[in-house]
Amino acid sequence: MASVLELQSIRKNRSGDGNVQLFANVSATIADPAIISILGVSGQGKSTLLRLLAGLDNADEGDIRLHNVSQRELDPRIWRMKVCYVAQQSVMLNGSIEQNLRTVSMLHRMPYDEKLVRHMLPRLGLDHLDMGKSAEQLSGGEKQRISLLRSLLLHPTVLLLDEITASLDRGSKEMVEEVLREWHHQEGATMLWVTHDLEQAQQMSSSIWFMGEGTLLENSDTAAFFEHPTSELAQNYIKAPIQKEQPCQS
Ligand SMILES: Nc1ncnc2c1ncn2[C@@H]1O[C@H](COP(=O)(O)OP(=O)(O)O)[C@@H](O)[C@H]1O
Ligand SMILES: [Mg+2]
């Protein structure tokens, strides 16, 4: 069986900085569907790595393979449908909440799964929303969850989650975690989840990717990582995780 996702010696240079690397030699194989947390202090290139995986930006070296098919060989539109990036700051399209949800399905020529939307809205704490309301008027935390639902509608093979619960209150955060845990089990979706919430990483993921020193410094089983991080950098990170910028309004 082909692995789900393979990262082969990926290098990304800093933008506008010639050949100075942001990271290099990032290699990993996800053999079976899994939830993986990506940890590391800010500025290591975690978001950039997710964008490369989603095909929203290009690597300077290396290859990314999904079920053994190279990103270079696949139509970018199809790749982005299979490998979906949920940004930290969600961007809503003009129009209503419902239009935002429908547009994604339309763009990817998939039928709009209204049943899934109706099932998910209360589970994401969003059943109070008037679907005809302008999406721009939503709070940051509501936009975040609508944007997640927009991605779920595509049933991606790999979901790339960029600090998607950082701006949520505890109750909403737990709802999102529960939805994603269940989605992983039911859909067999693989998730790569950037977070600074160590409790979340421990509870949600089976493996940890720790980024530091310009590369993927550690790739370990979650329990092993938290018990015995190999690098001094990871040891310090666990002791004092750097909190990201202030959460946006939710
Ligand atoms: N497309 C890009 N190409 C190269 N460097 C980038 C790109 N996007 C962001 N950067 C730079 O890379 C650094 C790390 O960015 P980022 O991926 O946001 O890190 P993290 O998510 O780990 O905080 C920042 O200094 C940023 O300016
Ligand atoms: Mg980031």
Evaluate if residue 249 carries a pLDDT over 50. Answer: no
Evaluate if residue 247 carries a pLDDT over 80. Answer: no
CA distance 137 to 93: 11
**Is residue 249 assigned to a domain?**
no
**Is residue 22 assigned to a domain?**
yes
Q: How far is the CA of 148 from the centre of ligand 2 (A)?
A: 17
Ligand nearest to the CA of 11: 1
**Is residue 250 assigned to a domain?**
no
**Any residues with CB less than 8 A from the CB of 69 and at least 6 apart, and which?**
none
Q: How far is the CA of 84 from the centre of ligand 1 (A)?
A: 19
pLDDT tens, position by position, 112-150: 999 999 999 999 999 999 999 999 999 999 999 999 999
Element (H, E) at 201: helix 198-204
**Is residue 244 assigned to a domain?**
no
Q: How far is the CA of 128 from the centre of ligand 1 (A)?
A: 36
Number of domains in the chain: 1
Strand 21-30 versus strand 5-13 pairing type: antiparallel
Mean pLDDT, residues 167-191? 97
Residue nearest to atom 13 of ligand 1 (CA): 43
Residue with token string 């990032």: 26
**Is residue 96 assigned to a domain?**
yes
Mean pLDDT of the chain: 93
Ligand 1 pocket member 48 (CB < 6 A): yes
Evaluate if residue 246 carries a pLDDT over 80. Answer: no
Ligand 1 pocket member 14 (CB < 6 A): yes
Provide the 10 A C-beta neighbour count for residue 210. 25
User: What CATH number is associated with residue 117?
Assistant: 3.40.50.300
pLDDT, residue 190, reads 98
In this prediction, residue 108 has a pLDDT band, given cuts at 50, 70 and 90, of confident
Mean pLDDT, residues 33-61? 97
Are 154 and 160 contacting, i.e. CB atoms less than 8 angstroms apart?
no
238: left (phi over 0), alpha (psi -120 to 50) or beta: alpha
Q: How far is the CA of 100 from the centre of ligand 2 (A)?
A: 24
Element (H, E) at 11: strand 5-13
For 59, the domain range is: 5-239
Residue nearest to atom 16 of ligand 1 (CA): 45
Are 110 and 75 contacting, i.e. CB atoms less than 8 angstroms apart?
no
